[in-house]
Amino acid sequence: MTTTTAQEPTVKATVTTPRDREIRIERIFNASRDRVWNAMTDPELVAEWWGRGNKLVIEKLEVKRGGHWRFVEHSAEGVHGFEGRFREVTPPERVVQTFEWDGMPGYVIVNTMTLQDLGDGRTKMVTTSLFHTTEERDGFLQSGMEGGMNQSYEALDRVLASRF
């Protein structure tokens, strides 16, 4: 592991698509694991960044197995509600939670987030988002339409690659 310097970028990310319905993002934060964990689980801290500059109302954030979370983001384009349940909570290293957007009912994403202490004051976060939808959609994905989706992923990969 290289030495951390003040000039080193805070955020590094690699994005891969190991499976057609899975998005995996790896990222290194220039912060201890406890700080990253708190920023993701303390409602007051979550409100500081989750809304990406938009007003965020945290209606619920029960960080425990079976707990419910619900955030409402107020953006220029409108009001968007997001919610889900925690399936697994292991402080300060692992959370599995579901994610749904009010605008796409029936689409459930299962997010697995792990935090790894790199031992040098930095923390590596790996998030995997698995898209669960109806059987119909699964069947359709297997029927040969994944080409178009992969093309979209590739296009997005290029955009993301240019950003980092």
Partner 1 sequence: MVQYHTQLNSTFGALADPTRRGILERLGRSEAGITELAEAFDITLTGMKKHVGVLEAAGLVTTEKVGRVRRCRLGPRRLDAETAWIEEYRRTLEGRLNRLGEFLERTKENR
To partner 1, the closest distance from the beta carbon of 51 in angstroms equals: 8
Phi/psi at 73 (nearest 5 deg)?
A: -100, 130
Minimum CB separation of residue 74 from partner 1 in Å reads 15
Residue 76: closest CA among 52, 60, 58, 100: 52
Residue closer to partner 1 by CB (options 66, 102) is 102
For residue 13, give every residue at least 6 positions away whose Cβ sits within 8 Å of its Cβ, in sequence order, or none. 25, 26, 27, 160, 164
Please report where in the chains the tokens 């801290």 appear, as a residue.
Answer: 45
89 Cβ contact list (under 8 Å, min separation 6)? 63, 64, 65, 67, 95
Nearest distance from C-beta of residue 113 to partner 1, angstroms = 10
Among residues 86 and 125, whose Cβ is nearest to partner 1?
A: 125
Residue 73 or 86: which CB sits closer to partner 1? 73
Nearest approach in angstroms of CB 2 to partner 1 is: 18
Question: Which residues of this chain interact with partner 1, rule CB under 8 A?
Answer: 10-11, 13, 15, 23, 25, 27, 29-32, 35-36, 39-40, 45, 48-50, 52-53, 101, 103-107, 109, 125, 127, 129, 131, 133-134, 136-137, 139-140, 143-145, 148-149, 152, 156, 160, 163
Selection from 74, 77, 80, 26 nearest residue 53 by Cα:
74
